[in-house]
Amino acid sequence: MQTPRHSVFVCRIFLIPFAYLPAWFLAGGQPDTGQFILDYIFRQQWPVGPPWFIWLLLAFNVFALLLPLKLFRRLDAGLQRRPAHTVFLWWLFTLLSLVPLGMWLGRYAWTGFGPFDFQVNRVGFYLIYFLTGAALGGMDWQALVFKDNRLAGLPAGICVALPPVFFTVLEVLTYRGWGAGPDRASAGLLELLLTAICPFSCLVLMWLFRRFAQRPAVLSGSLVANAFGIYLCHYPLLIWLQYALLGVSLPSVVKFFLVSAGSLAGSWVLTALLRRFKPISKIL
């Protein structure tokens, strides 16, 4: 519990305010630290940035400790006896956690207190997947999920085909403006599509990595070791690179790839260098 707690502190106090400096400058702000901090905390109400999810994971950890172990063992028993039925229940719980709140509150409902924000309409959804991951981590899940050339008892071909189809439909509808207005039915439909994508994409990704990424590699090993630090550090680099390219005359597609590659590579290298220092390595 030490590492995430320290990570939240470092991000809230240093990284995220630094990431919002370009927005301050674009809004006409002067290089005045005191004025920026006052505006950042009181007027902007402490923008959260990507690390909002870290403190939520801490809360989920505490909640999971309060649950009886038999709840996690039921998933193990269900995968052994009726894997397809267990996946259906997983999808059903995903649907119940997303669609009603999405129709009631909208797809982008946020709330919080101080520097701690969370997405209200998806907090139950995130909790379900956190608990599912915790349960799978305590069992021999590979032997249960990947059995007889099937994915949790389902034909692998169907599982592989479903996520791209549903994702394409979701993106097309979103591009056409579905779910952006007060129409709750359209928001519910988009959340319904998302519920169909999530469990199957999880199964497919696990299957793909198990089949094609069995051998250790230097690059993937480094990515795994530095992934948490990349998550923490990429946001300031992403924002500052965009800010630096604002006055550069380049096609938007080129800027997109420059910013994406630059923020990934920069945060990756920065994390690898910082992890050489023992006190920092305990956080990253």
Residue range 91-126, pLDDT digits in tens: 888 888 877 877 777 767 777 676 677 788 888 888
The total domain count for the chain is: 2
At 210, the amino acid letter reads R
DSSP β-bridge partners for residue 21? none
Residue 52 belongs to a domain: no
Q: Are residues 19 and 132 in the same domain?
A: no
Residue 34 belongs to a domain: yes
Query: Given pLDDT bands bounded at 50, 70 and 90, which one contains residue 1?
Result: very low
Residue 55 belongs to a domain: no
216: tokens are 């250790």
Q: Are residues 25 and 87 in the same domain?
A: no
pLDDT of residue 128: 87
Closest-CA residue to 6 (of 58, 63, 41, 47): 58
**Burial readout 142-177 (b: 16 or more C-beta within 10 A, e: otherwise):** eebbbeeebbbbbebeebbebbeebeeebeeeeeee
At 108, the amino acid letter reads Y
Residue 129 belongs to a domain: yes
Q: Are residues 95 and 235 in the same domain?
A: no
Q: Are residues 35 and 92 in the same domain?
A: no
Proportion of the chain in helix, strand, coil states, percent, rounded to 5: 75, 5, 20
Closest-CA residue to 102 (of 88, 89, 121): 121
Could you tell me which residues come within 8 angstroms of residue 12 by beta carbon, excluding any fewer than 6 positions away? Answer: 46, 51, 115
Give the three-state DSSP class for 51. Answer: coil
Question: Any idea which of 22-36, 82-96, 135-149, 197-211 has the lowest mean pLDDT?
Answer: 135-149
**Burial readout 53-76 (b: 16 or more C-beta within 10 A, e: otherwise):** bbbbeeebeeeeeeeeeeebeebb
- The bridge status of strand 116-119 relative to strand 110-113 is antiparallel
pLDDT higher for 191 or 11?
Answer: 191
Percent of the chain scoring above 70 in pLDDT = 88
- For the full predicted model, state whether its pTM sits above 0.85: no
Query: Given pLDDT bands bounded at 50, 70 and 90, which one contains residue 181?
Result: low
Range of the domain at 41: 2-47+218-281
pLDDT of residue 118: 77
Q: Are residues 165 and 190 in the same domain?
A: yes
